[in-house]
Structure 1
């Protein structure tokens, strides 16, 4: 049985603006498939462009956070927001970056029990406070992160990634975005076994 990837219309690649189509083809060339988030958000090309631009500004910039740590934030936030798409898709990316087939499931379920460092647990604790209780962030929250060596800019990154994926999680849930099947095994089994 084939399930739709969104409750909203998904445009054909040939019908998309050139820049949007080109971005999708670049991702397809690198990953071997087009993630459904691209296809789904292309329903509104201007919003697609804005989302991708902010995503790239946050996740591709030089930072005190590793690529894996950025994905940890996304997976923890997405788990808290019960976003199937982002837990599955970014869980796969996290497994690849950290070379750990178990880590994403641990973080999505309960980061305090995950096989990560105390520094990373502090980072995710702050991230989840931004996600669930941002009105109660106080100076002591910043001090706790600084004690682990996070800079003010790193703390901005943690909060901004959390906030962006709060938006992403809510949109994915709104449109019933379905994860690509490819994400489920990515980082769990060697490529030649898939």
Structure 2
């Protein structure tokens, strides 16, 4: 039986959607439009809502994209979202996250404190919320503030956690095919392209 992603593999691309694809490539600093967005182009109104969420939460704000990508990989592995894990694994590699750090994100949904205690605190909090959003507490805020995050940055981490869960849901439900561009990046680093 074919997946939703295979059924709507080639959505029609209107000039407006093509313009959105160019914006996506530019904002993500990607050499191609990820298959995820190409599948969602089948529903232009949905795409109009889906893309801005990622654009504002992942690529903008005061928390750096490097940390946000690591959060995305950790949560995608936790949620068994093979597409998002592969895509954001590739983005992590392209922005300087080491393969050893990515392996730990995939296997343990965190990183070592020796890599960065501050990043670890943010990742651990985001993963905790992805497991159960009811678990946030004042103590979490105090821990993150201790590591140097202010309230605005903590809210960005919460938004990033929720966005990752949302995108994982969309990718898992449609069973998005992993882009050849991502598999090439991963294979260059000795990772199995099927993730």
What is the TM-score with the length of structure 1 in the denominator?
Answer: 0.84
Equivalent positions of 1:103-122 (< 5 A) are: 103-112=101-110, 114=112, 116-122=115-121
Aligned to 1:123: 122
Unmatched 5+ stretches in structure 2: 190-195
Equivalent positions of 1:3-152 (< 5 A) are: 6-12=5-11, 15-25=12-22, 27=24, 31-63=30-62, 65-112=63-110, 114=112, 116-152=115-151
Aligned to 1:170: 169
Q: Distance in 2 between matches of 1:117 and 1:111?
A: 14
Deviates more, 1:168-177 or 1:53-62: 53-62
Q: Deviations over 1:53-90 (max 9, x none)?
A: 11111123230x22210101111111111100000000
Superposed CA RMSD: 2.4
Contact 2:5 2:175 in 1 (8 A): yes
Q: Distance in 2 between matches of 1:54 and 1:25?
A: 16
Q: Distance in 1 between matches of 2:97 and 2:123?
A: 19
Q: Distance in 1 between matches of 2:154 and 2:111?
A: 22
Unmatched 5+ stretches in structure 1: none
Deviates more, 1:128-137 or 1:141-150: 128-137
Q: Distance in 2 between matches of 1:31 and 1:60?
A: 12
- CA deviation after TM superposition for structure 1 residue 174, in Å: 0.8
- CA deviation after TM superposition for structure 1 residue 45, in Å: 0.8
Aligned to 2:183: 184
Q: Deviations over 1:145-189 (max 9, x none)?
A: 000001111111111111011111011111111111221342663
The number of aligned residues is 185
Three-state SS of the structure 1 residue aligned to 2:188 is: coil
